[in-house]
Amino acid sequence: MARTDSLTLSLPPFAGATRRLILANLAAFFGMLVLGWVSSTAASLVGGHLMLEPYSVAHGELWQLVTYAFMPVGILSMVFGMLSLWFTGSLLEGSYGSRWLYELYFTSVIGGAVIASALALTHLIGMNSMVAAVGPYAGIFGLLVAIAMNFGDLEFRLYFILPIKAKYMVAIYLLISVAILLKDKQAFTALLQLSGALCGFLYVKFAPRKGMASSISERYFGIRNGYYRWKRRRAARKFEVYMGKQGREVHFDKDGRYVDPDEARKDPNDRKWMN
């Protein structure tokens, strides 16, 4: 549900899935810096295989659909990205839980990469398959869209200065990305951000409230338990037939559980056994 209160400048909790995502990004950032200090050639080689390049994805480097989101960008962009991930992630995680946040983030990261790569490969909007992109912003845009949908009237501080409602702030970010895409058709990063935002919208709109993993798990265990109940009922029917052939009568309930004849003959209204 939307909130109308204002988000203060106090830092949100640094815990859970939000903390793990930020630490993973920082580890990749400093890891690539150290690798570049040791060997710039090795850093270029590793980075070239971990960034998102549609041509490489089409030729089998499918891990790029995930790894690009942890590849470092510029220092300022990294700082603002991690701050955005901290504020947005902690808000969503506090309301929906860690599993839901993970699913939303990686749906935006992977789904955005798939859509943007497909468009680049088909050249539908003037893109070409040799462009590349890095950074966490496809996932962050998915989180921003989720906040606009669920906490649209919550006030943020745009660039930590101007108070603005979440839905308007997210609209501004999206319009900036659209403008970049229309001005420079080679702006693959802007396309990736918009694709991530679209996937975030679709996840929030159609995914179960507890998340896809919980829904799949519940459905799996429901099917499994139903199968076991069916096996128990079938075994009970076979046993009834077998015992009937032996001249003995046994009974099972509708779930295949044995019914004690003495218990079955008891009057449920008889209270003589009670003190």
Class of domain 16-207: mainly alpha
State the angle between helix axes of 75-96 and 16-38 in degrees (0 to 180), rounded to the nearest 10.
Answer: 160
3-state helix, strand, coil in the chain (%, to 5): 65, 5, 30
Q: What is the mean pLDDT of residues 156-165?
A: 71
pLDDT value of position 11? 75
Q: Mutual orientation of helices 166-183 and 188-206 as an angle, nearest 10°?
A: 140
Please state, for a pLDDT cut of 90, what percent of the chain lies above it. 42
183 — pLDDT class (breaks 50, 70, 90) = confident
Predicted local distance difference test score (pLDDT) of residue 152: 84
Amino acid at residue number 197: A
Quote the pLDDT of residue 211: 58
pLDDT digits (tens, 9 = 90+) for 17-53: 999 999 999 999 999 999 999 998 998 999 899 999 9
Cα→Cα distances 205→170, 200, 211, 236, Å: 17, 8, 12, 45
Q: How confident is the model at residue 163, as a pLDDT?
A: 78
Angstrom distance (rounded) from CA 99 to CA 109: 15
Q: Which pLDDT score is estimated for 273? A: 45
Instruction: Work out the angle at residue 88's Cα, subtended by the Cα atoms of residues 18 and 8, and round it to the nearest 5 degrees.
Output: 115
3 state DSSP class of 237: helix
- Residues linked to residue 6 through DSSP beta bridges, in sequence order: 155
The whole-number pLDDT of residue 266 equals: 53
The average pLDDT across 220-239 equals 71
141 or 161: which leads in pLDDT: 141
Q: How far apart are CA 264 and CA 270, in angstroms?
A: 13
CA-CA distance, 190 to 115, in Å (whole number)?
12
Residue pLDDT, tens place only, 64-76 = 999 999 998 888 8
Of 86-100, 155-169, 189-203, 252-266, the poorest mean pLDDT is in 252-266
Average pLDDT over residues 243-260: 69
265: three-class secondary structure by DSSP: helix
Asked if 135 and 52 touch (Cβ cutoff 8 Å), the reply is no
Q: How confident is the model at residue 2 (pLDDT cuts 50, 70, 90)?
A: very low
Domain ranges of the chain: 16-207, 216-265
* pLDDT value at 214 more than 90: no
How does pLDDT run across 12-25, given as a tens digit for each residue?
888 899 999 999 99
